[in-house]
Structure 1
Protein backbone atom coordinates (compact mmCIF):
# COMPACT_ATOMS: atom_id res chain seq x y z
CA UNK A 1 0.00 0.00 0.00
CA UNK A 2 3.76 7.02 -6.18
CA UNK A 3 6.77 12.45 -13.37
CA UNK A 4 5.93 12.97 -17.02
CA UNK A 5 7.35 14.81 -20.04
CA UNK A 6 8.21 14.45 -23.74
CA UNK A 7 7.77 10.68 -23.57
CA UNK A 8 4.25 11.13 -22.24
CA UNK A 9 1.89 8.33 -23.25
CA UNK A 10 -1.18 9.91 -24.80
CA UNK A 11 -2.83 7.15 -26.82
CA UNK A 12 -4.34 4.28 -24.84
CA UNK A 13 -4.32 1.76 -27.68
CA UNK A 14 -0.64 2.35 -28.39
CA UNK A 15 0.13 1.87 -24.71
CA UNK A 16 -1.68 -1.44 -24.63
CA UNK A 17 0.22 -2.64 -27.67
CA UNK A 18 3.54 -1.63 -26.15
CA UNK A 19 2.79 -3.41 -22.90
CA UNK A 20 1.66 -6.60 -24.57
CA UNK A 21 4.61 -6.59 -26.93
CA UNK A 22 7.02 -6.22 -24.02
CA UNK A 23 5.27 -9.03 -22.20
CA UNK A 24 5.38 -11.35 -25.15
CA UNK A 25 9.04 -10.80 -26.01
CA UNK A 26 10.45 -11.46 -22.55
CA UNK A 27 13.45 -13.76 -22.91
CA UNK A 28 12.99 -15.66 -19.64
CA UNK A 29 12.40 -19.36 -20.24
CA UNK A 30 10.93 -20.03 -16.80
CA UNK A 31 10.05 -18.26 -13.57
CA UNK A 32 12.71 -15.59 -13.09
CA UNK A 33 14.25 -15.00 -9.68
CA UNK A 34 15.58 -11.45 -10.06
CA UNK A 35 13.78 -8.49 -11.63
CA UNK A 36 15.73 -6.03 -13.79
CA UNK A 37 15.01 -2.31 -13.66
CA UNK A 38 16.33 -0.50 -16.77
CA UNK A 39 18.45 2.63 -16.63
CA UNK A 40 16.39 5.79 -16.39
CA UNK A 41 13.54 4.18 -14.46
CA UNK A 42 13.29 5.12 -10.79
CA UNK A 43 12.50 2.31 -8.36
CA UNK A 44 10.66 2.65 -5.05
CA UNK A 45 10.27 -0.37 -2.81
CA UNK A 46 7.51 -0.58 -0.23
CA UNK A 47 8.63 -1.99 3.09
CA UNK A 48 6.80 -2.99 6.25
CA UNK A 49 9.37 -2.34 8.97
CA UNK A 50 11.05 -5.41 10.44
CA UNK A 51 13.98 -7.77 10.02
CA UNK A 52 12.74 -9.13 6.67
CA UNK A 53 12.57 -5.64 5.21
CA UNK A 54 16.08 -4.86 6.44
CA UNK A 55 17.42 -7.96 4.67
CA UNK A 56 15.51 -7.14 1.48
CA UNK A 57 16.81 -3.58 1.53
CA UNK A 58 20.34 -4.92 1.62
CA UNK A 59 19.79 -7.34 -1.28
CA UNK A 60 17.90 -4.80 -3.44
CA UNK A 61 20.14 -1.84 -2.60
CA UNK A 62 21.73 -1.58 -6.04
CA UNK A 63 18.34 -1.11 -7.69
CA UNK A 64 16.51 1.00 -5.11
CA UNK A 65 16.20 4.76 -5.24
CA UNK A 66 13.59 5.22 -2.51
CA UNK A 67 12.18 3.09 0.29
CA UNK A 68 8.53 3.68 1.18
CA UNK A 69 8.23 2.74 4.84
CA UNK A 70 4.71 1.60 5.60
CA UNK A 71 2.86 1.31 8.87
CA UNK A 72 1.82 4.76 10.18
CA UNK A 73 -1.94 5.17 10.29
CA UNK A 74 -4.37 7.94 11.17
CA UNK A 75 -5.77 7.62 14.67
CA UNK A 76 -9.31 6.27 14.88
CA UNK A 77 -10.76 9.74 15.47
CA UNK A 78 -8.70 11.25 12.66
CA UNK A 79 -6.91 13.73 14.88
CA UNK A 80 -3.34 12.53 14.59
CA UNK A 81 -0.84 9.85 13.60
CA UNK A 82 1.16 7.53 15.79
CA UNK A 83 4.90 8.09 15.98
CA UNK A 84 7.20 5.91 13.87
CA UNK A 85 8.11 2.64 15.55
CA UNK A 86 11.68 1.73 16.45
CA UNK A 87 11.63 -0.81 13.60
CA UNK A 88 10.60 1.89 11.13
CA UNK A 89 13.37 4.18 12.34
CA UNK A 90 15.88 1.34 12.02
CA UNK A 91 14.79 0.82 8.41
CA UNK A 92 15.03 4.57 7.79
CA UNK A 93 18.59 4.59 9.15
CA UNK A 94 19.48 1.58 6.99
CA UNK A 95 18.10 3.28 3.89
CA UNK A 96 20.08 6.44 4.56
CA UNK A 97 23.26 4.50 5.26
CA UNK A 98 22.85 2.99 1.79
CA UNK A 99 22.32 6.52 0.38
CA UNK A 100 18.67 5.81 -0.43
CA UNK A 101 15.80 8.20 0.17
CA UNK A 102 12.97 7.17 2.49
CA UNK A 103 9.32 8.20 2.45
CA UNK A 104 6.95 7.70 5.36
CA UNK A 105 3.68 6.12 4.22
CA UNK A 106 0.60 7.29 6.12
CA UNK A 107 -2.70 5.47 5.59
CA UNK A 108 -6.30 5.38 6.80
CA UNK A 109 -6.36 1.73 7.84
CA UNK A 110 -8.68 0.91 10.73
CA UNK A 111 -6.42 -1.28 12.87
CA UNK A 112 -9.39 -2.90 14.62
CA UNK A 113 -10.76 -4.20 11.32
CA UNK A 114 -7.69 -4.36 9.11
CA UNK A 115 -9.34 -2.41 6.29
CA UNK A 116 -9.07 1.06 4.79
CA UNK A 117 -11.67 3.26 6.45
CA UNK A 118 -13.44 6.12 4.71
CA UNK A 119 -14.91 7.13 8.08
CA UNK A 120 -11.47 7.67 9.61
CA UNK A 121 -10.23 9.55 6.56
CA UNK A 122 -13.34 11.75 6.55
CA UNK A 123 -12.89 12.62 10.23
CA UNK A 124 -9.42 13.87 9.46
CA UNK A 125 -9.98 15.51 6.09
CA UNK A 126 -13.22 17.33 6.93
CA UNK A 127 -11.86 18.97 10.09
CA UNK A 128 -9.34 21.80 9.76
CA UNK A 129 -8.07 21.20 13.29
CA UNK A 130 -7.64 17.46 12.65
CA UNK A 131 -5.82 18.18 9.41
CA UNK A 132 -3.44 20.49 11.23
CA UNK A 133 -2.73 17.94 13.97
CA UNK A 134 -1.95 15.27 11.39
CA UNK A 135 0.19 17.65 9.34
CA UNK A 136 2.10 18.66 12.46
CA UNK A 137 2.80 14.99 13.19
CA UNK A 138 4.01 14.31 9.66
CA UNK A 139 6.13 17.44 9.63
CA UNK A 140 7.75 16.31 12.86
CA UNK A 141 8.64 12.96 11.30
CA UNK A 142 10.26 14.72 8.34
CA UNK A 143 12.01 17.50 10.22
CA UNK A 144 13.10 15.56 13.30
CA UNK A 145 12.77 11.90 12.35
CA UNK A 146 14.73 12.37 9.15
CA UNK A 147 12.31 11.12 6.48
CA UNK A 148 12.85 12.59 3.03
CA UNK A 149 9.16 12.84 2.32
CA UNK A 150 5.67 11.50 2.87
CA UNK A 151 3.44 9.23 0.82
CA UNK A 152 -0.32 9.57 1.31
CA UNK A 153 -2.09 6.22 1.02
CA UNK A 154 -5.73 7.14 1.59
CA UNK A 155 -8.03 4.54 0.05
CA UNK A 156 -11.75 3.69 0.03
CA UNK A 157 -12.61 7.37 -0.40
CA UNK A 158 -15.37 8.89 -2.51
CA UNK A 159 -15.96 12.10 -4.46
CA UNK A 160 -17.28 13.67 -1.26
CA UNK A 161 -13.71 13.63 0.10
CA UNK A 162 -12.04 15.19 -2.94
CA UNK A 163 -12.10 18.87 -1.97
CA UNK A 164 -10.88 18.16 1.56
CA UNK A 165 -8.09 15.93 0.23
CA UNK A 166 -6.94 18.79 -2.00
CA UNK A 167 -6.95 21.12 1.02
CA UNK A 168 -4.97 18.63 3.09
CA UNK A 169 -2.36 18.13 0.37
CA UNK A 170 -1.99 21.90 -0.11
CA UNK A 171 -1.63 22.54 3.62
CA UNK A 172 0.89 19.72 3.94
CA UNK A 173 2.93 21.15 1.05
CA UNK A 174 2.96 24.58 2.70
CA UNK A 175 4.16 23.08 5.99
CA UNK A 176 6.83 20.59 4.93
CA UNK A 177 10.32 21.77 3.93
CA UNK A 178 10.57 22.54 0.23
CA UNK A 179 13.03 19.68 -0.29
CA UNK A 180 10.61 17.11 1.19
CA UNK A 181 8.68 15.06 -1.37
CA UNK A 182 4.96 14.38 -1.22
CA UNK A 183 3.72 11.38 -3.18
CA UNK A 184 0.26 9.84 -3.29
CA UNK A 185 -0.88 6.26 -3.82
CA UNK A 186 -3.87 5.94 -6.17
CA UNK A 187 -6.13 2.92 -6.38
CA UNK A 188 -6.41 1.89 -10.03
CA UNK A 189 -9.46 3.17 -11.89
CA UNK A 190 -10.29 2.31 -15.48
CA UNK A 191 -11.70 5.72 -16.47
CA UNK A 192 -10.82 9.35 -15.82
CA UNK A 193 -14.13 9.88 -14.06
CA UNK A 194 -13.35 6.89 -11.86
CA UNK A 195 -10.43 8.71 -10.23
CA UNK A 196 -12.66 11.61 -9.18
CA UNK A 197 -15.29 9.17 -7.94
CA UNK A 198 -12.54 7.55 -5.84
CA UNK A 199 -11.80 10.90 -4.17
CA UNK A 200 -8.83 12.01 -6.30
CA UNK A 201 -9.30 15.42 -7.96
CA UNK A 202 -6.06 15.07 -9.85
CA UNK A 203 -6.34 18.36 -11.73
CA UNK A 204 -6.04 20.14 -8.37
CA UNK A 205 -3.81 17.65 -6.55
CA UNK A 206 -0.99 18.08 -9.05
CA UNK A 207 -0.26 21.48 -7.51
CA UNK A 208 0.87 19.81 -4.27
CA UNK A 209 1.81 16.23 -5.17
CA UNK A 210 5.21 15.48 -6.68
CA UNK A 211 4.54 11.90 -7.71
CA UNK A 212 1.60 9.50 -8.01
CA UNK A 213 1.96 5.76 -7.38
CA UNK A 214 -0.64 3.93 -9.45
CA UNK A 215 -1.46 0.78 -7.47
CA UNK A 216 -1.77 -1.52 -10.48
CA UNK A 217 -2.65 -4.59 -8.44
CA UNK A 218 -5.79 -5.81 -6.75
CA UNK A 219 -7.61 -6.68 -9.98
CA UNK A 220 -8.31 -10.10 -8.49
CA UNK A 221 -7.81 -11.61 -5.06
CA UNK A 222 -9.00 -14.71 -3.28
CA UNK A 223 -10.82 -12.65 -0.64
CA UNK A 224 -12.98 -10.69 -3.08
CA UNK A 225 -13.11 -12.26 -6.55
CA UNK A 226 -12.90 -15.37 -8.66
CA UNK A 227 -9.48 -16.52 -9.83
CA UNK A 228 -7.61 -14.16 -12.12
CA UNK A 229 -4.50 -12.01 -12.51
CA UNK A 230 -3.38 -10.00 -9.51
CA UNK A 231 -2.93 -7.02 -11.80
CA UNK A 232 -3.00 -8.08 -15.43
CA UNK A 233 -1.45 -5.98 -18.19
CA UNK A 234 -4.66 -5.00 -20.05
CA UNK A 235 -6.34 -3.86 -16.82
CA UNK A 236 -3.23 -2.03 -15.62
CA UNK A 237 -2.81 -0.30 -18.97
CA UNK A 238 -6.43 0.82 -18.98
CA UNK A 239 -5.96 2.36 -15.55
CA UNK A 240 -2.68 3.97 -16.62
CA UNK A 241 -4.16 5.37 -19.83
CA UNK A 242 -7.03 6.94 -17.86
CA UNK A 243 -4.58 8.41 -15.36
CA UNK A 244 -2.38 9.90 -18.08
CA UNK A 245 -5.28 11.98 -19.37
CA UNK A 246 -5.17 13.74 -15.98
CA UNK A 247 -1.51 13.98 -14.93
CA UNK A 248 1.87 14.07 -16.73
CA UNK A 249 3.63 10.74 -17.27
CA UNK A 250 6.78 12.08 -15.60
CA UNK A 251 4.87 12.19 -12.28
CA UNK A 252 3.74 8.55 -12.27
CA UNK A 253 5.21 5.41 -10.77
CA UNK A 254 3.61 2.15 -11.84
CA UNK A 255 3.22 0.14 -8.63
CA UNK A 256 3.54 -3.59 -9.22
CA UNK A 257 2.57 -6.60 -7.12
CA UNK A 258 5.28 -8.82 -5.72
CA UNK A 259 2.85 -11.47 -4.55
CA UNK A 260 0.11 -13.82 -5.68
CA UNK A 261 -3.18 -15.31 -4.55
CA UNK A 262 -4.53 -18.85 -4.16
CA UNK A 263 -8.04 -20.09 -4.91
CA UNK A 264 -8.57 -23.56 -3.39
CA UNK A 265 -11.61 -25.66 -4.29
CA UNK A 266 -12.69 -25.64 -0.64
CA UNK A 267 -11.95 -23.23 2.18
CA UNK A 268 -10.36 -19.83 1.98
CA UNK A 269 -7.46 -18.84 -0.23
CA UNK A 270 -4.81 -16.32 0.65
CA UNK A 271 -1.81 -14.28 -0.36
CA UNK A 272 1.33 -16.11 -1.42
CA UNK A 273 4.88 -14.99 -2.21
CA UNK A 274 6.36 -15.64 -5.67
CA UNK A 275 8.84 -18.13 -4.17
CA UNK A 276 6.03 -20.05 -2.48
CA UNK A 277 3.99 -20.01 -5.68
CA UNK A 278 6.89 -21.45 -7.68
CA UNK A 279 7.44 -24.17 -5.11
CA UNK A 280 3.78 -25.17 -5.15
CA UNK A 281 3.33 -24.92 -8.91
CA UNK A 282 6.49 -26.69 -10.05
CA UNK A 283 6.16 -27.79 -13.65
CA UNK A 284 2.53 -26.66 -13.71
CA UNK A 285 3.59 -22.99 -13.80
CA UNK A 286 2.41 -21.22 -16.96
CA UNK A 287 3.51 -17.74 -18.04
CA UNK A 288 0.54 -15.84 -19.53
CA UNK A 289 2.07 -13.26 -21.85
CA UNK A 290 -1.16 -11.32 -22.34
CA UNK A 291 -1.38 -10.71 -18.58
CA UNK A 292 2.32 -10.58 -17.69
CA UNK A 293 1.78 -13.01 -14.81
CA UNK A 294 2.08 -16.68 -13.92
CA UNK A 295 -0.74 -19.10 -13.23
CA UNK A 296 -1.04 -22.75 -12.29
CA UNK A 297 -3.72 -25.26 -11.43
CA UNK A 298 -2.53 -27.71 -8.79
CA UNK A 299 -3.39 -31.39 -8.57
CA UNK A 300 -6.02 -30.67 -5.90
CA UNK A 301 -7.72 -28.06 -8.10
CA UNK A 302 -6.25 -25.01 -6.37
CA UNK A 303 -5.65 -22.14 -8.80
CA UNK A 304 -2.68 -19.80 -8.37
CA UNK A 305 -1.95 -16.46 -9.98
CA UNK A 306 1.20 -14.54 -9.11
CA UNK A 307 3.32 -11.57 -10.10
CA UNK A 308 7.06 -12.15 -9.83
CA UNK A 309 10.42 -10.82 -10.99
CA UNK A 310 9.55 -11.40 -14.65
CA UNK A 311 6.28 -9.51 -14.17
CA UNK A 312 8.12 -6.54 -12.66
CA UNK A 313 10.74 -6.55 -15.42
CA UNK A 314 8.03 -6.41 -18.08
CA UNK A 315 6.32 -3.50 -16.36
CA UNK A 316 9.57 -1.64 -15.70
CA UNK A 317 10.42 -1.82 -19.42
CA UNK A 318 6.90 -0.66 -20.25
CA UNK A 319 7.24 2.22 -17.79
CA UNK A 320 10.40 3.36 -19.57
CA UNK A 321 8.71 3.08 -22.96
CA UNK A 322 5.76 5.14 -21.70
CA UNK A 323 7.96 7.87 -20.22
CA UNK A 324 6.89 7.24 -16.63
CA UNK A 325 8.99 8.35 -13.67
CA UNK A 326 9.42 4.78 -12.52
CA UNK A 327 8.00 1.71 -10.84
CA UNK A 328 7.20 0.75 -7.26
CA UNK A 329 6.93 -2.71 -5.72
CA UNK A 330 4.68 -4.04 -2.97
CA UNK A 331 6.58 -5.26 -1.04
CA UNK A 332 10.34 -5.91 -1.01
CA UNK A 333 10.38 -8.33 1.93
CA UNK A 334 8.24 -10.98 0.20
CA UNK A 335 8.83 -10.20 -3.48
CA UNK A 336 11.65 -11.55 -5.63
CA UNK A 337 14.99 -9.72 -5.50
CA UNK A 338 15.44 -6.70 -7.76
CA UNK A 339 18.54 -5.58 -9.66
CA UNK A 340 19.48 -3.15 -12.41
CA UNK A 341 19.40 -4.33 -15.99
Structure 2
Protein backbone atom coordinates (compact mmCIF):
# COMPACT_ATOMS: atom_id res chain seq x y z
CA UNK A 1 0.00 0.00 0.00
CA UNK A 2 2.86 2.38 0.84
CA UNK A 3 4.42 1.76 -2.56
CA UNK A 4 1.09 2.48 -4.22
CA UNK A 5 0.80 5.81 -2.38
CA UNK A 6 4.32 6.75 -3.44
CA UNK A 7 3.50 5.86 -7.03
CA UNK A 8 0.36 7.99 -6.95
CA UNK A 9 2.27 10.93 -5.45
CA UNK A 10 4.93 10.60 -8.13
CA UNK A 11 2.27 10.55 -10.84
CA UNK A 12 0.62 13.65 -9.37
CA UNK A 13 3.97 15.45 -9.29
CA UNK A 14 4.53 14.55 -12.92
CA UNK A 15 1.14 15.94 -13.91
CA UNK A 16 1.98 19.25 -12.28
CA UNK A 17 5.52 19.52 -13.63
CA UNK A 18 6.44 21.98 -16.40
CA UNK A 19 7.62 19.09 -18.57
CA UNK A 20 4.23 17.40 -18.34
CA UNK A 21 2.41 20.65 -19.02
CA UNK A 22 4.44 21.22 -22.19
CA UNK A 23 3.87 17.60 -23.21
CA UNK A 24 0.11 18.17 -23.26
CA UNK A 25 0.54 20.54 -26.19
CA UNK A 26 -0.20 19.28 -29.69
CA UNK A 27 -1.15 20.89 -32.96
CA UNK A 28 -4.46 18.97 -33.25
CA UNK A 29 -5.64 19.68 -29.71
CA UNK A 30 -8.87 21.37 -30.88
CA UNK A 31 -9.54 19.07 -33.86
CA UNK A 32 -12.80 17.79 -32.37
CA UNK A 33 -13.42 20.58 -29.84
CA UNK A 34 -13.27 23.57 -32.20
CA UNK A 35 -12.34 22.32 -35.69
CA UNK A 36 -12.55 25.77 -37.32
CA UNK A 37 -10.35 27.47 -34.71
CA UNK A 38 -7.37 28.34 -36.88
CA UNK A 39 -9.51 29.65 -39.72
CA UNK A 40 -11.51 31.81 -37.30
CA UNK A 41 -8.38 33.34 -35.73
CA UNK A 42 -6.80 33.80 -39.15
CA UNK A 43 -9.80 35.77 -40.41
CA UNK A 44 -10.04 37.85 -37.27
CA UNK A 45 -6.34 38.80 -37.29
CA UNK A 46 -6.59 39.66 -40.98
CA UNK A 47 -9.44 42.03 -40.18
CA UNK A 48 -7.48 43.59 -37.30
CA UNK A 49 -4.47 44.12 -39.54
CA UNK A 50 -6.72 45.81 -42.07
CA UNK A 51 -7.91 48.18 -39.36
CA UNK A 52 -4.44 49.11 -38.13
CA UNK A 53 -0.86 48.35 -39.26
CA UNK A 54 0.12 48.38 -35.58
CA UNK A 55 -1.95 45.32 -34.71
CA UNK A 56 0.45 42.70 -36.11
CA UNK A 57 3.67 43.80 -34.37
CA UNK A 58 1.66 44.63 -31.24
CA UNK A 59 0.14 41.13 -31.05
CA UNK A 60 3.50 39.48 -31.68
CA UNK A 61 5.15 41.51 -28.92
CA UNK A 62 2.26 40.72 -26.58
CA UNK A 63 2.97 36.99 -26.98
CA UNK A 64 6.59 37.42 -25.87
CA UNK A 65 5.67 39.66 -22.94
CA UNK A 66 3.13 37.07 -21.84
CA UNK A 67 5.32 33.97 -22.13
CA UNK A 68 8.38 35.63 -20.57
CA UNK A 69 6.39 36.42 -17.39
CA UNK A 70 4.59 33.59 -15.55
CA UNK A 71 4.64 31.53 -18.77
CA UNK A 72 2.32 31.42 -21.78
CA UNK A 73 -0.94 31.76 -19.85
CA UNK A 74 -2.42 35.06 -21.12
CA UNK A 75 -1.83 36.63 -17.70
CA UNK A 76 -0.74 39.78 -19.56
CA UNK A 77 -4.39 40.22 -20.56
CA UNK A 78 -5.76 40.28 -16.99
CA UNK A 79 -7.14 43.56 -15.63
CA UNK A 80 -7.21 43.74 -11.82
CA UNK A 81 -9.50 46.26 -10.17
CA UNK A 82 -6.73 47.26 -7.73
CA UNK A 83 -4.33 48.07 -10.58
CA UNK A 84 -1.88 45.32 -9.60
CA UNK A 85 -1.46 43.55 -12.92
CA UNK A 86 1.30 42.89 -15.45
CA UNK A 87 0.31 45.33 -18.15
CA UNK A 88 0.48 48.27 -15.75
CA UNK A 89 4.11 47.53 -14.86
CA UNK A 90 6.45 50.20 -16.35
CA UNK A 91 8.10 47.58 -18.59
CA UNK A 92 4.71 46.76 -20.14
CA UNK A 93 3.41 50.30 -20.52
CA UNK A 94 4.76 50.47 -24.08
CA UNK A 95 2.52 47.58 -25.17
CA UNK A 96 -0.03 48.90 -27.64
CA UNK A 97 -3.78 48.75 -27.21
CA UNK A 98 -4.06 47.39 -30.76
CA UNK A 99 -2.35 44.19 -29.65
CA UNK A 100 -4.76 43.61 -26.78
CA UNK A 101 -7.72 44.42 -29.02
CA UNK A 102 -6.53 41.95 -31.65
CA UNK A 103 -6.67 39.16 -29.05
CA UNK A 104 -10.02 40.26 -27.62
CA UNK A 105 -11.55 40.40 -31.10
CA UNK A 106 -10.16 36.96 -31.97
CA UNK A 107 -11.56 35.56 -28.72
CA UNK A 108 -14.98 37.05 -29.52
CA UNK A 109 -14.86 35.55 -33.02
CA UNK A 110 -13.98 32.11 -31.63
CA UNK A 111 -16.72 32.25 -29.00
CA UNK A 112 -19.26 33.26 -31.64
CA UNK A 113 -19.00 29.69 -32.96
CA UNK A 114 -21.37 27.60 -30.75
CA UNK A 115 -19.07 24.59 -30.99
CA UNK A 116 -16.13 26.62 -29.67
CA UNK A 117 -17.76 28.90 -27.13
CA UNK A 118 -15.78 29.01 -23.85
CA UNK A 119 -13.70 26.01 -24.90
CA UNK A 120 -10.57 27.73 -26.25
CA UNK A 121 -8.08 29.40 -23.93
CA UNK A 122 -6.97 32.99 -24.36
CA UNK A 123 -3.39 31.69 -24.17
CA UNK A 124 -3.92 29.53 -27.25
CA UNK A 125 -5.65 32.33 -29.12
CA UNK A 126 -2.69 34.59 -28.31
CA UNK A 127 -0.26 31.97 -29.68
CA UNK A 128 -2.28 31.61 -32.88
CA UNK A 129 -2.67 35.37 -33.30
CA UNK A 130 1.10 35.81 -32.97
CA UNK A 131 1.65 33.25 -35.73
CA UNK A 132 -0.92 34.92 -37.95
CA UNK A 133 0.62 38.34 -37.33
CA UNK A 134 3.92 36.95 -38.61
CA UNK A 135 2.66 34.91 -41.55
CA UNK A 136 0.22 37.55 -42.80
CA UNK A 137 3.06 40.09 -42.73
CA UNK A 138 5.18 37.98 -45.07
CA UNK A 139 6.88 35.76 -42.52
CA UNK A 140 6.76 32.00 -41.99
CA UNK A 141 3.58 30.08 -41.27
CA UNK A 142 4.36 27.33 -38.79
CA UNK A 143 2.33 24.74 -36.84
CA UNK A 144 1.24 26.08 -33.44
CA UNK A 145 1.12 23.70 -30.50
CA UNK A 146 -2.10 24.12 -28.53
CA UNK A 147 -3.65 22.95 -25.27
CA UNK A 148 -2.65 25.72 -22.85
CA UNK A 149 -4.87 26.77 -19.97
CA UNK A 150 -5.18 30.37 -18.85
CA UNK A 151 -3.53 31.58 -15.67
CA UNK A 152 -5.57 33.10 -12.87
CA UNK A 153 -2.98 35.52 -11.48
CA UNK A 154 -1.36 38.70 -12.79
CA UNK A 155 0.80 40.95 -10.61
CA UNK A 156 3.19 43.83 -11.26
CA UNK A 157 6.01 42.35 -9.20
CA UNK A 158 6.11 39.23 -11.38
CA UNK A 159 7.28 41.26 -14.40
CA UNK A 160 10.97 40.83 -15.20
CA UNK A 161 11.86 41.55 -18.82
CA UNK A 162 15.00 42.33 -20.84
CA UNK A 163 15.77 46.02 -21.28
CA UNK A 164 16.80 47.98 -24.35
CA UNK A 165 20.32 48.52 -23.01
CA UNK A 166 21.08 44.85 -22.22
CA UNK A 167 24.42 43.47 -23.42
CA UNK A 168 24.82 39.96 -24.83
CA UNK A 169 25.53 38.32 -21.48
CA UNK A 170 22.41 39.87 -19.96
CA UNK A 171 20.29 38.80 -22.93
CA UNK A 172 21.63 35.26 -22.84
CA UNK A 173 21.10 35.10 -19.09
CA UNK A 174 17.46 36.12 -19.41
CA UNK A 175 16.62 33.80 -22.29
CA UNK A 176 18.53 30.94 -20.69
CA UNK A 177 16.15 31.33 -17.75
CA UNK A 178 13.32 30.56 -20.18
CA UNK A 179 15.13 27.48 -21.47
CA UNK A 180 16.10 29.19 -24.72
CA UNK A 181 19.49 29.31 -26.42
CA UNK A 182 21.48 32.22 -27.84
CA UNK A 183 20.34 31.19 -31.32
CA UNK A 184 16.72 31.23 -30.13
CA UNK A 185 17.27 34.70 -28.68
CA UNK A 186 18.80 36.09 -31.88
CA UNK A 187 16.02 34.57 -33.99
CA UNK A 188 13.28 35.91 -31.71
CA UNK A 189 14.95 39.34 -31.78
CA UNK A 190 14.18 39.27 -35.50
CA UNK A 191 10.60 40.03 -34.50
CA UNK A 192 11.89 43.61 -34.34
CA UNK A 193 11.69 43.61 -38.11
CA UNK A 194 8.19 45.01 -37.43
CA UNK A 195 7.00 47.72 -35.09
CA UNK A 196 8.43 50.83 -33.48
CA UNK A 197 9.98 52.10 -30.25
CA UNK A 198 9.57 55.35 -28.37
CA UNK A 199 12.63 57.60 -28.42
CA UNK A 200 13.09 57.14 -24.67
CA UNK A 201 14.30 53.58 -25.33
CA UNK A 202 17.22 54.56 -27.57
CA UNK A 203 17.80 58.32 -27.41
CA UNK A 204 20.76 57.84 -25.03
CA UNK A 205 22.65 56.14 -27.89
CA UNK A 206 22.44 59.04 -30.33
CA UNK A 207 25.88 60.60 -30.66
CA UNK A 208 27.38 58.46 -27.89
CA UNK A 209 27.32 54.86 -29.17
CA UNK A 210 30.16 54.22 -31.65
CA UNK A 211 28.35 51.15 -33.01
CA UNK A 212 25.59 53.39 -34.42
CA UNK A 213 26.02 54.59 -38.00
CA UNK A 214 26.58 58.40 -37.87
CA UNK A 215 24.06 59.09 -40.62
CA UNK A 216 21.49 56.97 -38.78
CA UNK A 217 22.25 58.87 -35.57
CA UNK A 218 21.70 62.19 -37.34
CA UNK A 219 18.41 60.91 -38.75
CA UNK A 220 17.22 59.81 -35.32
CA UNK A 221 18.29 63.13 -33.83
CA UNK A 222 15.88 64.84 -36.18
CA UNK A 223 13.14 62.34 -35.35
CA UNK A 224 13.26 62.54 -31.57
CA UNK A 225 11.96 66.05 -31.04
CA UNK A 226 9.49 65.51 -28.17
CA UNK A 227 8.21 62.94 -25.67
CA UNK A 228 5.75 61.53 -28.21
CA UNK A 229 8.39 60.80 -30.84
CA UNK A 230 9.18 57.27 -32.02
CA UNK A 231 11.10 55.45 -34.73
CA UNK A 232 10.55 52.20 -36.57
CA UNK A 233 12.64 49.27 -35.38
CA UNK A 234 13.26 48.46 -39.05
CA UNK A 235 13.01 51.66 -41.03
CA UNK A 236 13.36 49.94 -44.41
CA UNK A 237 10.33 47.60 -44.26
CA UNK A 238 8.54 48.45 -40.97
CA UNK A 239 5.34 46.46 -41.56
CA UNK A 240 6.87 43.48 -43.36
CA UNK A 241 8.28 40.41 -41.66
CA UNK A 242 11.63 39.77 -43.37
CA UNK A 243 15.35 39.65 -42.59
CA UNK A 244 15.98 43.38 -43.12
CA UNK A 245 16.44 43.75 -39.35
CA UNK A 246 19.70 41.81 -39.54
CA UNK A 247 20.90 43.75 -42.57
CA UNK A 248 20.28 46.92 -40.58
CA UNK A 249 22.43 45.58 -37.74
CA UNK A 250 25.26 44.93 -40.21
CA UNK A 251 25.06 48.59 -41.24
CA UNK A 252 25.03 49.93 -37.67
CA UNK A 253 21.36 50.86 -37.98
CA UNK A 254 19.96 48.83 -35.11
CA UNK A 255 17.59 51.03 -33.11
CA UNK A 256 17.93 49.56 -29.63
CA UNK A 257 21.22 48.90 -27.89
CA UNK A 258 20.07 45.32 -27.26
CA UNK A 259 19.57 44.96 -31.02
CA UNK A 260 22.89 46.41 -32.17
CA UNK A 261 24.89 44.43 -29.61
CA UNK A 262 23.96 41.25 -31.48
CA UNK A 263 26.24 42.35 -34.30
CA UNK A 264 28.71 44.36 -32.24
CA UNK A 265 29.58 41.33 -30.10
CA UNK A 266 31.70 38.80 -32.02
CA UNK A 267 30.04 35.91 -30.17
CA UNK A 268 26.70 36.56 -31.86
CA UNK A 269 27.78 38.36 -35.04
CA UNK A 270 28.06 35.19 -37.11
CA UNK A 271 24.39 34.30 -36.56
CA UNK A 272 23.30 37.84 -37.44
CA UNK A 273 25.38 37.73 -40.63
CA UNK A 274 23.91 34.36 -41.59
CA UNK A 275 20.32 35.50 -41.08
CA UNK A 276 21.06 38.65 -43.10
CA UNK A 277 22.35 36.43 -45.91
CA UNK A 278 19.75 33.64 -45.73
CA UNK A 279 16.17 34.67 -44.94
CA UNK A 280 14.97 31.08 -45.19
CA UNK A 281 17.22 29.99 -42.33
CA UNK A 282 16.02 32.91 -40.23
CA UNK A 283 12.39 31.97 -40.89
CA UNK A 284 13.09 28.33 -39.96
CA UNK A 285 14.92 29.21 -36.75
CA UNK A 286 12.33 31.84 -35.81
CA UNK A 287 9.48 29.32 -36.16
CA UNK A 288 11.35 26.80 -34.00
CA UNK A 289 12.17 29.44 -31.39
CA UNK A 290 8.53 30.55 -31.25
CA UNK A 291 7.50 26.94 -30.68
CA UNK A 292 9.97 26.58 -27.81
CA UNK A 293 8.89 29.94 -26.36
CA UNK A 294 5.29 28.75 -26.51
CA UNK A 295 6.11 25.87 -24.15
CA UNK A 296 7.30 28.11 -21.31
CA UNK A 297 5.28 27.88 -18.10
CA UNK A 298 2.27 26.18 -19.68
CA UNK A 299 -0.68 25.78 -17.31
CA UNK A 300 -2.83 22.66 -16.98
CA UNK A 301 -6.40 22.14 -15.79
CA UNK A 302 -4.93 21.72 -12.29
CA UNK A 303 -3.61 25.29 -12.10
CA UNK A 304 -5.44 27.06 -14.92
CA UNK A 305 -8.80 27.62 -16.54
CA UNK A 306 -10.46 28.58 -19.83
CA UNK A 307 -11.28 32.26 -19.30
CA UNK A 308 -14.63 33.41 -20.63
CA UNK A 309 -13.31 36.97 -20.84
CA UNK A 310 -9.58 37.26 -21.42
CA UNK A 311 -9.44 40.31 -19.15
CA UNK A 312 -10.79 38.65 -15.99
CA UNK A 313 -10.38 35.30 -14.23
CA UNK A 314 -13.64 33.35 -14.18
Q: Same fold (TM over 0.5)?
A: no
Larger Rg: 2
Bigger strand fraction: 1
Bigger helix fraction: 2
Scaled by the length of structure 1, the TM-score of the pair is 0.24
Scaled by the length of structure 2, the TM-score of the pair is 0.26
